[in-house]
DNA sequence: CCGTGCATGTAATTCGTTACATGATTCC
DNA sequence: GGAATCATGTAACGAATTACATGCACGG
């Protein structure tokens, strides 16, 4: 358990790690998920997935499950390791930075997607709160840029910028709604500290 | 003007081409634009931009403007070539595919941003119409997937999927609004075929 | 016994990222 | 004349894309 340069996994590797955290998977199952479900906005295809699996295995974040009864070769079942869980949780719990919002929103949403079951409700709530704060700040910057520059832009340029601002605003509203949903779901499960409405 | 393998430029190269189509630029000006304006969601930094400029120059899509009075070495002014304009227009006018919407929405918005001044209003309108159609279809697919799978997903996974669907819906609404804006602006400029409301 | 789907990979290419290198202006 | 900014690049590296390679299992 030593001798790892401690390099941060790529988003694709985190995605695979997150899938493995939901239960043992084979490489082929992971390929299928990337092909057939909306998670696959993040690339797909065996050519990127199998090398990513190999890197995760080399880093000790996943391991081959003891071959159930397969002779070998075909059907290797992957299981996340303790260190893998720790790495995944560190990623999920990392602060939401301005750069994340400006240039890595997709990765933020991928992070969020894997949170339930892997981090506490408090961590999820903190993520959403911080996400909304950072998005609001970014929308402010974009709006003032648009105000200053829209007139000197070609119409389609201004409209494209508007689309970007809109989508950040929309995401901020979603974050607020998601926070409510998480809190309500949590209250229903937990011993119920307080009840407002049904 | 021969001997080019006719390979399709990358999004970054198209972005540079689009900027050059707006008027001569220096590499440094392009770097600054990527650093300081919201166009820079598409990477930035000299390390990717200068190599891209070199590739565009090698492909004959941009050329060095005859050095105005600079001795040499510093401050090379880039100008788009006729072939560059043709390549840019081909990109801007290309059909909107399902794959574009599913996995290259950012590139579609980049395309749209450069349309004014480079392609006709008809091409812009066709783009927006087709974009909305493809987005609506994709929303339909995502919604039926969500209906079938949301219950078996962890809550944050379902919420993340919802965020994705929302943002596509939002973008479809934007496309409709943008189409109106383009049409209205066009009518104001053109000899006015018909007038409905002020 | 033959094709289709299951299942796991490798190889070549290419682009982007990060970091570094270099020199010319301009401002104080 | 020294520092900041202008301005243009190169080098090392990593990772994704595309295409290809391989073999097993199973139904018809």
Structure confidence at residue B7 (pLDDT): 87
Residue A41: its pLDDT value, please? 78
Which chain D positions have some atom within 7 A of a protein CB?
Answer: 6-12, 14-21, 23-25
Map tokens 């980049």 to a residue. B110
d(CA B189, CA A78): 63
3-state SS class at A63 = strand
Q: What does the alpha-carbon distance between residue A78 and residue A65 come to, in Å, rounded to a whole number?
A: 6
Closest CA to B15 of B53, B63, B65: B53
Looking at residue B73, its pLDDT comes to: 56
Q: Extract the tokens encoding B93.
A: 């006018």
Q: Which of A160, A166, A175, A179 to mutate to test the interface with B (most CBs of B within 10 A)?
A: A160
Residues of B 47-76 whose CB lies less than 7 Å from any atom of strand C = 47-48, 51-52, 55, 71, 73-74
Contact (CB, 8 A) for B119 and B18: no
Closest-approach residue (CA) in chain B for A173: B163
Alpha carbons within 13 A on the beta-carbon side of A138: 29
Quick check: A20 and A84 in contact, CB under 8 A? yes
Q: Which of B193, B176, B170, B173 is nearest to B127 (CA)?
A: B176
Helix locations, B25-94, DSSP H: 27-36, 46-58, 82-93
**Total residue count of chain B as it appears in this document:** 198
Per residue of chain B (198 residues), give pLDDT as tens.
444 557 899 999 999 999 999 999 999 999 999 999 998 777 778 999 999 999 999 999 999 987 655 555 568 899 999 999 999 999 999 999 999 999 999 999 999 999 999 999 999 999 999 999 999 999 999 999 999 999 999 999 999 999 999 999 999 999 999 999 999 987 776 565 555 444
Tell me the two tokens of residue A134.
């950072």
On average, the pLDDT of chain B sits at 90
pLDDT for A76: 87
Strand A77-80: give its sheet, edge to edge.
A25-26, A77-80, A62-64
Torsion of CA B28, B33, B39, B44, to 10 degrees: 40
Strands (E), A20-84: 25-26, 62-64, 77-80
Q: Which nucleotide is nearest to B30 (CA to C1')?
A: D7
Strand D reaches within 7 A of the A12 CB: yes
Residues in chain A, total: 198
| Per-10-residue mean pLDDT, chain A, length 198 | 70 96 94 89 86 96 77 77 98 96 95 97 98 98 95 96 97 98 79 52
Considering only CB atoms, A113 lies closest to which of B115, B142, B156, namely: B156
pTM of the model: 0.91
B62: enclosing H helix or E strand: strand B62-64
Tell me how far apart the terminal alpha carbons of chain A are, to the nearest angstrom: 50
d(CA B49, CA B59): 15
**A46 CB closer than 7 A to any strand C atom:** yes
Query: Among all residues of chain B, which has the CA nearest to that of A121?
Result: B156
Helix (H) or strand (E) holding B155: helix B155-189
Query: Exposed, middle or buried: residue B93 (CB in 10 Å: 0-12, 13-18, 19+)?
Result: middle
Give dist(CA A51, CA A147) in Å, integer. Answer: 46
Distance between the alpha carbon (CA) of B157 and the C1' atom of C28, Å: 58
- Which residues are CB-neighbours of B121 under 8 A, at least 6 positions away? B182, B183, B186
| A140 within 8 A of A173, measured Cβ to Cβ | no
């Amino acid at each position: 358990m030593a001798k790892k340069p401690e390099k941060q996994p790529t988003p694709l590797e985190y995605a695979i790690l997150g899938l493995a955290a939901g239960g043992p998977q084979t490489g082929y199952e992971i390929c299928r998920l990337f092909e057939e479900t909306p998670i696959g906005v993040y690339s797909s295809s065996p050519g990127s997935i199998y090398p990513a699996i190999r890197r995760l295995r080399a880093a000790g974040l996943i391991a081959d499950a003891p071959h159930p009864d397969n002779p070998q070769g075909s059907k290797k079942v992957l299981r996340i390791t303790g260190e893998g869980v720790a790495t995944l949780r560190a990623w999920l719990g990392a602060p939401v930075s301005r750069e994340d919002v400006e240039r890595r929103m997709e990765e933020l949403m991928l992070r969020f997607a894997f949170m339930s079951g892997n981090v506490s409700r408090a961590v999820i709530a903190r993520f959403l709160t911080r996400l909304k704060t950072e998005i609001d700040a970014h929308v402010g910057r974009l709006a003032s840029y648009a105000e200053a520059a829209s007139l000197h832009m070609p119409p389609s340029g201004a409209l494209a910028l508007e689309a970007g601002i809109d989508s950040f605003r929309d995401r901020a509203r979603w974050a607020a709604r998601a926070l409510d949903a998480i809190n309500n779901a949590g209250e229903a499960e937990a011993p119920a500290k307080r009840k407002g409405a049904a």
